[in-house]
Structure formats: structure tokens, C-alpha cells
Structure 1
Amino acid sequence: MLEGPPLRADAQRNRVRILDAAETVFAELGPGGSTEEVARRAGVAIGTVFRHFPTKDDLLAAIMKRLLTQLIAEAAELGGPDGLFRFLRDLVAQAAAKRSVVDLLARSGVDVRLPEVVSHLQDAVGSLLSQAQDAGTVSPDVALPEVMALLVSLCQGALHGGWDAGLQERTLAVVFAGLSPR
């Protein structure tokens, strides 16, 4: 999707309403969710949806970018000795809650290459890792690539594992024990 000039305030509000509605529609209806239903729930005309997102794939990619951007903001707000642990716990909960939307993205074949967003996420997670290591709550032997691999694995488990709250907690306990100093 091409980035253009900044949006007017009303256009920006419409864009946010469309993305909010799309997340809800796709979470509830999965791939059967339509752009018409998104427009209805957003309270805009279908043409408004298509002006912002010319294709359904553009809409799905924008949802993914927004989800990643929200994760970066959340990681930046956390800190201290247990920030990394809180971030991973929140991430698993969000992945489970947004399972339908993320699953739809994966099944749609949308090419969601967001290297700048992923890079910012790595920076934010790296900061949480450094803070935890400085505080002594994470082993100094743990490196960012391992944490990012755990992050992806935890999300995949939450998305596709049919996790209940008990399994989530037990899995996170194993991960946290592995991250902790020996």
C-alpha cells in the first residue's frame, strides 16, 4: 500500500474506525468477513473503505502493521526487572485473543513484509532483555535472537495450539525458567 500525504482529521478517524471494525469482523467471521460488513460496522460507505484500502489484502496488511505497532508501544511502556516476562505474557494473551485475525492473514497469503516495524519490535524487545539482564532476572547468556525465536514460538502456540489458560501458564513457566539465571 502506498503511503501518501497525511490524512485529514476526519479521514484519519474513518481509517481508525475501519481498522477497528475490520479486526472485530474478521475475529468474529474469519475469512467469511466482508469489506461490506466492515464498512457497515465502521459506519462508513464501502467506497470509503476502498479509498483507504483498495483491496482486502491491503486492509489485512494494515491490521497486521497496526498490531505490530501496538506491540512495540506496549514493549516500550514496560521495563524493569520483569518487563520482558510481562511482555511475553501479554503477547501470548493477545495472540490467543486475535487468533482469527492472524490466522486469516496467514491463510490469505498476504505478503506482510514490514521490516521497519519488525526491526522496531526487535529493538523494543532487546531493550527489555537488557533491562532484565541488568536486573539479574534473565541470564546474561540469553541473546536477542533466542528471545525473538521464543516470541515467535509462543505466538504460534497460542494461535494454533488451542491453548487454554492452564497450558498458557505452564508453557510460560517453562520459558521463564529457561530465561532465568541458573
Structure 2
Amino acid sequence: MQIPPPETLHLDSDETTGYPNSPLPVLIYRQVLDTGSAEERAESFEAMFQRHGWLPAWRYHLYDFDHFHSTAHEALGIFRGQARARLGGPNGQETVLKAGDVLVLPAGMGHASVEASDDFCMVGAYPPGQEPEIERGDPTQLEAAQARVADVALPGYSPVGGPLAALWGEGA
């Protein structure tokens, strides 16, 4: 299966809201999986992520509040429904995610669901040894969050395949 190159989105830290975001870009892969039932897509995403060294951890929706993980990169495989997501924290940018898409969030990147279909659901995965903490922006804690983000190891491969260094290399 040939995966098209991802869309990239660069979002700087937001000192007013305390969201560290990342010097690394968000990766948005469109229509990675476009056939099969929702259950088959979920299983296919889990197998794909696992094959490329990202450990599937859950199936759930996207929280409707802005949050980030300063201790882990995150892959989200949308297997059912669609959502309008905000990336980068409260002052971030919106994008529409549909079944079949994969969103790869570098550590520190704010994200939230602005609006979603009732059936919206995704598979979440993380590189080995990375445990996500759910954090919300706090301008007084921004420097500490940025330091944690800088310490998160870069995985070797994208969760959909191919070297991640070409997309995230050298701190982008």
C-alpha cells in the first residue's frame, strides 16, 4: 500500500494560553484507509501502528477540551465518523478529520474536538515507553512543559510507515 505524503502544519508555542506545541509539524495523512467496516478500519489501524513501532492504547473519541501531552507523541487513526478538530490550543487552527485519516501529533501539541458526529471514534497509539499525561495550558508552567517536550525521544518510523526523520528530522 502506497501512503501519500502527509499534510504538515507548524504551530508555535502560545505564551498567552501556555500551550507548548512543538517545533515539529503535525502530520495529517488523508484517507490512509478507505475501505472496510469501521471495525475493520480500527483493526487495520492498530495493526499498521503496531507494525511501525507505535503501540495502540485505546479506542475513543477526541476530548472536547484543549489539552496536550508533554511526555509522548500521539498517533490518532480515525476509523468512524468525522470531527472538526482544533490543533495548537485555544488559539489554534481547525481541520476536519474523517474516517480513514491519521493525525500524528508531536509531544506538546494542543488538540481538541470542536464538533464531531455522534459516531466519531479513533484508535490512539504511542511510541514504546512514552506515557501521555493529559495537560492543559498554563502560562506559568510553559517553560517546564517545553522542557519536557524537548526531552521526548523521536520514534524512528511514522505510524503509517516510512522514516520519520524525513518529516520530523533535526527538530524540523
TM-score bracket for this pair, using the shorter chain length = under 0.3
TM-score by length of 1: 0.23
Bigger RCO of structures 1 and 2 (CA < 8 A, at least 6 apart): 2
TM-score by length of 2: 0.24
Between structures 1 and 2, the one with greater helix share: 1
